[in-house]
């Protein structure tokens, strides 16, 4: 099957069905018919899908300028966007991009004619259309209007850089399992295989790979020497500062990267209990721990209702990796810009508050709770913690002294792209 048609089918699952890009790609590329797709074609399909999602708002404006009326066939519309993306952003020769995209609609003669006309018209009017797109903020940034407003309200000085970073491909970052190998030794192993990488000076486990590679090709990946995890997410284990003999709780734990890092960081724990509401996602936690030869107590349960799963013994350390808007990881999941809605925020903020209040009694006096989100929006972050501390006299804001992120009223905020990191927030609370 034509690679561009496959990409259009994936994108249609996102645009029309509201499916995540990750799931849609997995559905299409993992089924039986995908066995005939070569790896280079799969990479091209992924590049098209991620690229169209990143630039969807810009491409939509351009398409609307080229059409007399909206396209009712949404798969054909996705195919047009695939063609426009190639012409605007990829190093595909224009004649090849047009002919191959037109050929992808071979079962719909009317669509072939439309595709040919639209794409060739774009090439004739490219300068004019680029100027038009650059003059409209939604298209210039390729972000929805509601998200532009929220980011500019919270981070007016950083907003242009945030929009730019959100439209870039995130780097491949590894977490070295320092219980098995030192970072210096692993960097040597990478160098021996011709993989260029650099250590992150403020995170002792993090390595940034210069050019993305297949994780299976990384030395020792299958035996658990390294895992894929953004630098910002790797900071959690150090902030928790877990000590030997302590009991640790990780709620909203899937897919298990932070739980695994805590176990690598401190092998002398009494116990780590990981909880997640989704049984299928908890299977991912088990698989990740098995690859790393690590063990933890895994519970499927609702973090907002611990009475259904808690054994009554308090924990010295708790990590709440709170459900959030995920605005800080748009680089990795550009479909967030398409699927997330402004009205999603209040329910998320209410859920975060509910989880914080429900989990707080599980923390032992003298213990520490780390609240984390992959968001850059203040309502989910410092405002959430400010309200919690105000209503809980036994909660103390513990300072996070670090040379990364911004010091905010409560905790530290990482702005998307800082030191190549995802957007992330941390607040550390002590219990009197």
Active site residues: 374
Neighbours of 225 (CB within 10 A): 20
Long-range contact set of residues 90-98: C-beta below 8 Å, sequence gap at least 24: 90/47, 90/51, 94/123, 98/123
Q: What is the DSSP string of 388-413?
A: HHHH-TTEEEE----SSSEE-SSSEE
HSE of 261 in the Cβ direction (CA atoms, 13 Å)? Answer: 30
| Cα(426)–Cα(359) distance, integer angstroms | 17
State both tokens at 281.
């996602």
User: Where are any strands of DSSP class E within 216-314?
Assistant: 226-228, 247-251, 271-276, 297-300
Specify the DSSP class assigned to residue 432.
-
Residue 92 is inside which H or E element, if any?
none
Q: Decide: 27 and 13 in contact? Cβ < 8 Å.
A: yes
Long-range contact set of residues 74-78: C-beta below 8 Å, sequence gap at least 24: 74/12, 74/15, 74/16, 75/8, 75/9, 75/12, 76/8, 76/105, 76/108, 76/111, 76/114, 76/115, 77/15, 78/7, 78/8, 78/9, 78/11, 78/12, 78/15, 78/52
User: Where are any strands of DSSP class E within 165-314?
Assistant: 172-176, 197-199, 206-209, 226-228, 247-251, 271-276, 297-300
Query: Which CA distances in Å does 251 have to 102, 201, 207, 369?
Result: 49, 29, 26, 11
| Cα(352)–Cα(321) distance, integer angstroms | 10
């Amino acid at each position: 099957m034509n690679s561009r048609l496959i990409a259009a089918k994936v994108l249609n699952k996102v645009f029309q069905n509201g499916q995540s890009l990750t799931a849609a790609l997995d559905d299409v590329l993992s089924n039986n018919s995908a066995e005939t797709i070569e790896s280079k074609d799969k990479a091209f399909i992924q590049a098209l899908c991620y690229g169209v999602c990143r630039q969807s708002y810009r491409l939509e404006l351009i398409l609307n300028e080229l059409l007399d009326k909206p396209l009712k066939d949404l798969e054909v519309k996705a195919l047009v966007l695939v063609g426009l993306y190639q012409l605007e952003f990829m190093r595909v020769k224009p004649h090849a991009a047009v002919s191959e995209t037109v050929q992808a609609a071979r079962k719909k003669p009317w669509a072939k004619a439309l595709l040919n006309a639209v794409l060739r018209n774009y090439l004739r009017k490219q300068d004019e259309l680029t100027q038009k797109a650059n003059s409209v903020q939604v298209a210039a940034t390729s972000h929805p209007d509601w998200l532009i407003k929220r980011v500019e309200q919270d981070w007016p000085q950083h907003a242009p850089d945030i929009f730019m970073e959100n439209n870039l491909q995130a780097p491949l970052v590894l977490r070295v399992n320092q219980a098995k190998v030192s970072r210096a030794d692993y960097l040597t192993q990478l160098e021996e295989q011709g993989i260029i990488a650099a250590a992150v000076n403020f995170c002792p486990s993090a390595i940034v790979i210069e050019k993305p590679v297949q994780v299976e090709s990384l030395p020792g990946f299958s035996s658990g020497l390294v895992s894929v995890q953004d630098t910002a997410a790797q900071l959690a284990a150090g902030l928790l500062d877990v000590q030997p003999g302590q009991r640790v709780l990780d709620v909203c734990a899937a897919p298990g990267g932070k739980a695994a890092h805590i176990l690598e960081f401190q092998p002398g724990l009494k116990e780590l209990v990981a909880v997640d509401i989704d049984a299928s996602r908890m299977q991912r936690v088990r698989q990740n721990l098995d690859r790393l030869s690590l063990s933890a107590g895994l519970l499927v349960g609702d973090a907002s209702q611990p009475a259904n799963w808690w054994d009554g013994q308090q924990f010295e350390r708790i990590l709440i990796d709170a459900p959030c808007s995920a605005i800080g990881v748009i680089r990795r999941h550009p479909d967030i810009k398409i699927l997330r809605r402004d009205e999603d925020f209040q329910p998320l903020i209410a859920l975060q508050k509910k989880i914080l209040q429900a989990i707080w009694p599980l923390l032992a006096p003298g213990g520490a709770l780390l609240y984390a989100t992959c968001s850059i929006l203040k309502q989910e972050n410092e405002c959430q913690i400010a309200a919690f501390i105000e209503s809980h006299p036994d909660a103390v804001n513990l300072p996070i002294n670090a040379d990364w992120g911004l010091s905010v009223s409560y905790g530290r905020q990482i702005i998307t792209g800082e030191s190549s990191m995802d957007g992330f927030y941390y607040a550390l609370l002590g219990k009197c």
